[in-house]
Every structure is written in structure tokens, then in C-alpha cells.
Structure 1
């Protein structure tokens, strides 16, 4: 379900008195991210006061890969995190997990390269490696020297999920029937059909990304904000303030 029918279906999730914005998968689209942050700032200015604490922005994972400017997008996230007028929180996506696995020698990097990692290497000035173990090992060594400490700290500090009132922010979704605190990392980063095809039983509104469509979509208990920004040129956010949720999008 999409559009106004979806927003009506989601009800009025409690945010604990906070004004919260969630942003879908970014994948290196620095242009769209900058425009959407400007749009959110304008929305905040248009609705001043009455909320507990600063406005919060939650990022739903997949900041890197596929799009043209992964390293530069991490720069934008780091800079936004320094804005004292906003509380920024961010969850781990499967693409960040793949990059960390490569850096930490938990993967060869070859599968990461096939699913968008080559664009991330390029954004750091690392050439596409020769398709061999030696080539990927050399790329790993070079990447380790050029990833700034603030990027490394950002990636390693990403949260697995974030709970705010009746809202649960997670990258891909939840394994049905499993309590939140017992969810496996693999599921919250990669799950698709098992989550999307089953009723949500978590007692919260799950706000997620990972499985893109051309516009935000969902069902009772869940909304997906991944609108395939790297390919469609559309980046989507949702505003939660204790009333009916509202969508913001930019091109």
C-alpha cells in the first residue's frame, strides 16, 4: 500500500514527545541528501516548539555503494552529526556491514565489489582491484590508509536498531515471531520476503529500508522508505510527531 491510504493505516504512533524524521537508503547520493536535509530544516522551522528536546533525524542504513559519492556522503553525515540543533542517529545497513567485513578481513571483498563496493572504492580514490585474492588484498591495504578516522568511527558506531516510543527503526526488517532483543544481525540487515509477507507482530511501527520501490510503501505495522535513490533519483523521508505521519521527498 502507498500514498495517503498507507499513512492513514499507520495511525498516530507515539514518539515520546519528539519530532523525528527518518530517511531512506542514500547510496552515495550526496545531492539528494543535501536537498532533503534542507527540506527537513525548512519543515522544522515551520513547526517550532512544543516538542521534547531537539528534532531527531534517523538514517536507515545503506549510505555507501552503488551511487557516485559514498565517501563524500559519509562526510555529510559526520558534518550533520556536529549540528547541535539536531540529534542524529543512524542504523547499520548491509552495505556498511559488507565494507567493515572487508576492512576487517572477514570477507575477501569480491562479493562486496559485485554489489556496489567498487563505487565506494572509487570514491576514496582506490582503483578497482584485479580479480584475484592478491588484488583485493592490495585494495584493502590501500583503503585502510585513506578512510578517515571519523568515517571509521561512524561506521563502527552504527546502531542495529533504534526504538523511539512506538517507532522501531531498522535497516531491513524483523524476523516474524522473534522478540526484538533476540533478532539476528543477519535478519535485521538482509531480510526481505519473510518480513514483508508476514503480519508485523512487534507491537511497534517498524520503519525500514532495504527493499526499494518507486515510492514509500507498507502495511499495518510497517513502512519502507527506500525509494531506490541511486537509480530513481528520489530520496524519501517520513516525519513523525505523534500525529499522522507525513512523507517528504526530493529529486
Structure 2
């Protein structure tokens, strides 16, 4: 059983389409049209084309393509803003808001045609955002699932709380967790395929596989294929087997 996966996108539409092209090429050589593509969340923020990313994935699912899109913490922040511009994500640091340049929310709104969203009255920006984001897109984006299980792999944006049954996991952890998950060396009962914590390159730690290769900071969007608990990066030259690395002792 094989499953394709794409790491964090962060508004990098062109890089995302390149990842899909690598998957199409792999399917033609070694794969199967029956194998789904799982997108690990953070569709939006920081990059220039969040609206295009979201629209493409929405339309692909609507047209029957075999794609699963997982919710990321940046996706939740965008949806929260559209529901209530004064609401705060409970895991966001007190000195930050979604419209802070560090989070990248203004870039998302700019991709929907808003002008200087980080420098104008919040009520005005919110009203324009509601006009700009189609209701169907808004509902689809807000309703993305938190996890997807297939074979020996669990696909989730940030990770899981170690030792907690899957059905008892908290949404905040699935979207935001870092240190306690990243430094845990135990077998979770499945390979956890995740993003959220940006690295220079995708890395397989044995019990988990991190596909966030820093697209939000100028890095690539990574595509991989998972079979059992093994994984291969997809490159223009074909599959590249991922060698297991030691779990880091501190949070990246």
C-alpha cells in the first residue's frame, strides 16, 4: 500500500504544482492511480499565492481527484479570522496575531486582492475578506480533517501527543505540538507523517517522518511516497530512499 504526501505549502503555488508533477511522473513509472495524495496542511500564509493554492486543492477534490487535504495551524488561523477578526488562536503567542508579518496572514489576504491588510482598520479588512473569499471555499477550508490514517501511516499536520490514544488527541496538539512529540523516540503504533516544524530538508526518524522543508521560508515543497514505514523523496531523477536519522534531543 503506497501513499503520496506533500509537505507544508504556505502559499507557494508554483512549488506545489511542481510537487504534483513529480507525483504524476512517479505514478507513470512506479506508482498507481489508486494511491491518494495527502497534503499535510498549512496551505496559506507567507507565500504569495495562498488563494490559488486553496482554490486548486478545493477544485481538485470537487472534480474527484484522489487528494486528502489535512488542516494545518495556519489554515485554522485563517478560518478563525474569517469567523471573528478579534478572536485569537489559543496556541498563538500573546504578542502575535495572524496579521503579524511573521505569521504571514497579510500575504494570504493580499492573494485575495486586499490592499495593505496589515495596515488598515481591522473591521474594514475583515469585511473585505468576507467579500473576497468565496463561501464555498471558506466552508471547505474550515472543514478540513485533522488526521488521515492509511496502512501503517498516520498523516497529521504537527504531530501527536505521545502515549495518548488517537481518538483522545486534542486538536491543539494535532495542529501545534512540537517538543514533546519531536523528541519522543517511542513507536507510536504507526509512522506519523507530519509537517509544521520547518527543516532544511525532509527527514525520516523511524517513528515519524517530517516533510516540512521550509517552503514558508524560501525552501522547497517536498513530495514523498510512503510504503509501509519506508519513504522515498520524489525528485526529477526519480525516487530517493530516505535514510533513518536519529531523533533530535531538543526541539528544532
TM-score scaled by length of structure 2: 0.83
Greater CA deviation, 228-237 or 186-195? 228-237
**What residue in structure 1 maps to residue 23 of structure 2?**
40
Q: Secondary structure at the match of 1:245?
A: strand
Please, which of 199, 215, 227 is the counterpart of residue 241 of structure 1? 227
**What residue in structure 2 maps to residue 57 of structure 1?**
37
**What residue in structure 2 maps to residue 167 of structure 1?**
153
- Cα distance in 2 between the residues matched to 1:130 and 1:172: 27
Greater RCO, CA 8 A, separation 6+:
1
- Closer, same or farther in 2 for the Cα pair 1:106/1:218, shift >3 Å? farther
**What residue in structure 2 maps to residue 13 of structure 1?**
none
Q: Answer 1 or 2: which has greater helix percent.
A: 1
Structure 2 unaligned segments of length 5 or more: list them: 89-95, 237-252
**What residue in structure 1 maps to residue 241 of structure 2?**
none
Count of matched residue positions in the alignment of Structure 1 and Structure 2: 227
**What residue in structure 1 maps to residue 176 of structure 2?**
190
**What residue in structure 2 maps to residue 26 of structure 1?**
9
TM-score scaled by length of structure 1: 0.83
Q: Secondary structure at the match of 1:62?
A: coil
**What residue in structure 2 maps to residue 92 of structure 1?**
71
Please, which of 128, 140, 143 is the counterpart of residue 129 of structure 2? 143
Query: Is this contact kept in 1: 2:152–2:190, CA < 8 A?
Result: yes
1:151 CA drift (Å): 1.6
Query: Is this contact kept in 2: 1:103–1:140, CA < 8 A?
Result: yes
CA deviation string 1:134-177 (max 9, x = no partner): x1122111111110233213212211111111100000011112
- Cα distance in 2 between the residues matched to 1:89 and 1:43: 18
Structure 1 unaligned segments of length 5 or more: list them: 1-16
Instruction: Kindly report which structure 2 residues correspond to 1:190-229, keeping only aligned pairs within 5 A, or say none.
Output: 190-229=176-215
Please, which of 116, 120, 128 is the counterpart of residue 108 of structure 2? 120
1:197 CA drift (Å): 1.0
- Cα distance in 2 between the residues matched to 1:170 and 1:48: 23
- Closer, same or farther in 2 for the Cα pair 1:188/1:48, shift >3 Å? closer
Q: Secondary structure at the match of 1:21?
A: strand
- Closer, same or farther in 2 for the Cα pair 1:184/1:239, shift >3 Å? same
Query: Is this contact kept in 2: 1:208–1:225, CA < 8 A?
Result: yes
Query: Is this contact kept in 1: 2:11–2:51, CA < 8 A?
Result: yes
- Cα distance in 1 between the residues matched to 2:38 and 2:61: 11
RMSD between superposed Cα atoms in Å = 2.1
